[in-house]
A and B are shown apart, each in its own frame.
Chain A
Amino acid sequence: MTAESSFSLLGILTAQDISFVHTFEHPGMSEFIDASAGGVMVMGGIIVIALLTYYRGWHALWCDWLTSVDHKKVGIMYIVVAFVMLARAIIEGVLMRYQQSIAVNDPGILSPDHFGQLFSTHGSIMIFFVAMPFVTGMMNYIMPQQIGARDVSFPLLNAISLWLTAAGAALVMISLVVGKFSTGGWTAYPPYTGIEFSPGEGVDYWIWSISLASIGSTLTGLNFATTIYKNRAPGMTLFRMPLFCWTSLCTSILMIFAMAPLTIATLMLALDRYAGFHFFTNDLGGNMMNYANLFWLFGHPEVYILILPAFGVFSEVISTFSGKTIYGYKSLVIATMSIAVLSFTVWLHHFFTMGQGANVNVIFGIATMLIGVPTGVKVYDWLLTMVRGRIRLTTAMLFSVMFLVTFVIGGLTGVILANPPVDFAVHNSLFLVAHFHNMVIPGVLFGMIAGYQFWFPKAFGFRLAERWGKVSFWCWSFGFYLTFMPLYVLGLMGAMRRTVEWFRPEYLGWLQVSFVGALLLFSGFLFLCVQLVVSIRQRDQRRVPAGDPWDGRSLEWSNSSPPPEYNFAVIPDVTGQDAFTRIKQQGQAYASPIAYEDIVVPKNSIVAPVIGIAAIMFGFALVWHIWWLVVFSFVCMWGAVIARSFVTETERVIPASKVRADHEAWLQQVRECATTPREQENTSVNVGRAEVLT
Chain B
Amino acid sequence: MKRQPLLHPGLNLGSTDEYSHDVSEPIIFGFWVFLMADLVLFAILFATYASMSVQGQAGGPTPIDVFDLPSAFIETMLLLTSSITFGMASLALKYKADSLHLVFWLVLTFCLGAGFIGMELRDFWVMIQQGAVPQRSGFLSSFFLLVATHGIHVTAGLFWMLVLLLQLRVFGRTTEVKLRLMRLALFWHMLDIVWVCIFTFVYLFGVAQ
In the complex they form, whether A and B have CB atoms below 8 Å apart is answered with yes
Residues of A within 8 Å of B141, CB to CB, are: 268, 271, 277-279, 285-286
B29 near A230: Cβ-Cβ < 8 Å:
yes
B37 near A286: Cβ-Cβ < 8 Å:
no
A256 near B36: Cβ-Cβ < 8 Å:
yes
A260 near B44: Cβ-Cβ < 8 Å:
yes
Interface locus among A140-148, A163-171, A562-570, A641-649: A641-649
CA distance A257 to B43 in the complex (A): 11
A222 nearest CB across to chain B (Å):
4
A285 near B55: Cβ-Cβ < 8 Å:
yes
Interface locus among B70-78, B163-171, B192-200: B163-171
Q: Of residues 6 to 44 in B, which have CB atoms within 8 Å of A's CB atoms?
A: 25-27, 29-30, 33-34, 36-38, 40-41, 44
A284 near B30: Cβ-Cβ < 8 Å:
no
Nearest neighbor of A263 in chain B, beta-carbon distance:
B41
B198 nearest CB across to chain A (Å):
16
Q: Of residues 243 to 289 in A, which have CB atoms within 8 Å of B's CB atoms?
A: 256-257, 259-261, 263-264, 267-268, 271, 275-279, 281, 283-287
CA distance A345 to B46 in the complex (A): 19
User: How many residues belonging to B are interface residues under a CB distance threshold of 8 Å?
Assistant: 38
Residues of B within 8 Å of A276, CB to CB, are: 135
**Is B180 located at the chain interface by the 8 A CB criterion?**
yes
Residues of A within 8 Å of B142, CB to CB, are: 279
**Is A560 located at the chain interface by the 8 A CB criterion?**
no
Contact with B along A219-241 (1 / 0, CB 8 A): 00111011001110000000000
**Is B134 located at the chain interface by the 8 A CB criterion?**
yes
Neighbour of A284 across the interface among B44, B45, B58, B144, CB < 8 A: B58
Q: A275-B135, A279-B141 are in contact. Are A287 and B26 (CB under 8 A)?
A: no
A297 nearest CB across to chain B (Å):
7
A293 nearest CB across to chain B (Å):
9
Neighbour of A290 across the interface among B29, B48, B136, CB < 8 A: B48
B159 nearest CB across to chain A (Å):
9
B52 near A287: Cβ-Cβ < 8 Å:
yes
Q: A261-B44, A285-B56 are in contact. Are A275 and B134 (CB under 8 A)?
A: yes
CA distance A248 to B34 in the complex (A): 17
Residues of A within 8 Å of B139, CB to CB, are: 285
B44 near A294: Cβ-Cβ < 8 Å:
yes
Q: Of residues 661 to 675 in A, which have CB atoms within 8 Å of B's CB atoms?
A: none
Neighbour of B40 across the interface among A230, A261, A281, A286, CB < 8 A: A261
Nearest neighbor of A280 in chain B, beta-carbon distance:
B138
Residues of B within 8 Å of A264, CB to CB, are: 41, 44-45, 48
**Is A153 located at the chain interface by the 8 A CB criterion?**
yes
B26 near A230: Cβ-Cβ < 8 Å:
yes
**Is A400 located at the chain interface by the 8 A CB criterion?**
no
Neighbour of A648 across the interface among B51, B52, B144, B171, CB < 8 A: B171
**Is B137 located at the chain interface by the 8 A CB criterion?**
yes
Q: A278-B141, A279-B48 are in contact. Are A287 and B55 (CB under 8 A)?
A: yes
**Is B145 located at the chain interface by the 8 A CB criterion?**
yes
B56 near A271: Cβ-Cβ < 8 Å:
no
B150 nearest CB across to chain A (Å):
13
Neighbour of B163 across the interface among A229, A256, A645, A648, CB < 8 A: A645
A225 near B52: Cβ-Cβ < 8 Å:
no
B33 near A287: Cβ-Cβ < 8 Å:
no
B9 nearest CB across to chain A (Å):
13
Q: Of residues 526 to 567 in A, which have CB atoms within 8 Å of B's CB atoms?
A: none
**Is A218 located at the chain interface by the 8 A CB criterion?**
yes
CA distance A287 to B50 in the complex (A): 13
CA distance A267 to B52 in the complex (A): 16
Residues of B within 8 Å of A351, CB to CB, are: none
Residues of A within 8 Å of B134, CB to CB, are: 271, 275, 277-278
**Is A154 located at the chain interface by the 8 A CB criterion?**
yes
**Is B155 located at the chain interface by the 8 A CB criterion?**
no
Nearest neighbor of A284 in chain B, beta-carbon distance:
B58
A645 near B167: Cβ-Cβ < 8 Å:
yes
CA distance A540 to B38 in the complex (A): 50
Residues of A within 8 Å of B30, CB to CB, are: 153-154, 222-223, 226
Residues of A within 8 Å of B81, CB to CB, are: none
Residues of B within 8 Å of A230, CB to CB, are: 25-26, 29
A297 near B36: Cβ-Cβ < 8 Å:
no
Nearest neighbor of A294 in chain B, beta-carbon distance:
B44
CA distance A260 to B44 in the complex (A): 8
CA distance A218 to B41 in the complex (A): 11
CA distance A284 to B55 in the complex (A): 10
Q: Which B residues lie at the A interface, using CB under 8 A? A: 25-27, 29-30, 33-34, 36-38, 40-41, 44-45, 48, 51-52, 55-58, 60, 134-139, 141-142, 144-145, 163, 167, 170-171, 176, 180
Please provide the 6 A-B residue pairs with the shortest distance between their CB atoms, ordered closest to farther: A285-B138, A285-B56, A285-B58, A230-B26, A260-B40, A226-B30
Sample of 11 more A-B contacts, CB < 8 Å, known A225-B33, A260-B44 = A222-B33, A231-B26, A256-B40, A278-B135, A284-B56, A285-B58, A285-B141, A286-B56, A294-B44, A297-B44, A648-B171
Question: Can you list 28 residue pairs at the A/B interface with Cβ under 8 Å?
Answer: A153-B26, A153-B27, A218-B37, A226-B30, A226-B33, A230-B25, A231-B26, A256-B33, A257-B36, A259-B37, A260-B37, A260-B40, A263-B41, A264-B48, A271-B134, A276-B135, A277-B134, A278-B56, A278-B141, A279-B52, A279-B141, A279-B142, A285-B55, A285-B56, A286-B56, A287-B55, A645-B163, A648-B171
